Amino acid sequence: MKASFVIPARNEENYISETIQSILRQPRELVEEIIVVDNNSADRTTQIAQKFPSVIVIFEPIVGTNRARQTGFEKTKSEIVAFLDADVILPDHWLKRALEIFDKRKKVVAIAGPYWYKEGPILLQIGTVI
């Protein structure tokens, strides 16, 4: 079982590289593809994402995270799709653990986990669980 990653990105030049690198640190045999959806950026988001040979960059001119997510989803190859914001840093082996959940629990259709903000009010930086 492999997963496709979809990253909607609009003006994320400061974060997109770290996000892609965190995906590339996942076990390679579990990553089907990485799709960055440039959602009409006015910065270097696309150019930075294109520096990674394994990343597919597509363009969605209509601004909106949901629209960009859907555009990326329609291009995926895998049965499992992970949607990441462009400023997310995955912990090592995140994908392996996520796929194990899907494999063991056949009726699972979505999973989520804790996340932390890198910026913003201190209470948000401490941690948030969805």
Q: Quick: pLDDT tens for 34-89.
A: 999 999 999 999 999 999 999 999 999 999 999 999 999 999 999 899 999 999 88
Which value, to the nearest 10 degrees, does the dihedral of the CA atoms of residues 78, 51, 39, 30 take? 20
In the structure, what pLDDT confidence band is assigned to residue 122 with cuts at 50, 70 and 90? low
pLDDT at 129: 44
Closest CA to 4 of 88, 98, 67, 91: 98
Stretch 92-112: mean pLDDT: 83
Query: To the nearest whole number, what is the mean pLDDT of the chain?
Result: 88
pTM of the complete model:
0.87
Q: How many CA atoms lie within 13 A of 83 on its CB side?
A: 16
pLDDT at 125: 54
Instruction: Tell me which of 124 and 91 has the higher pLDDT.
Output: 91
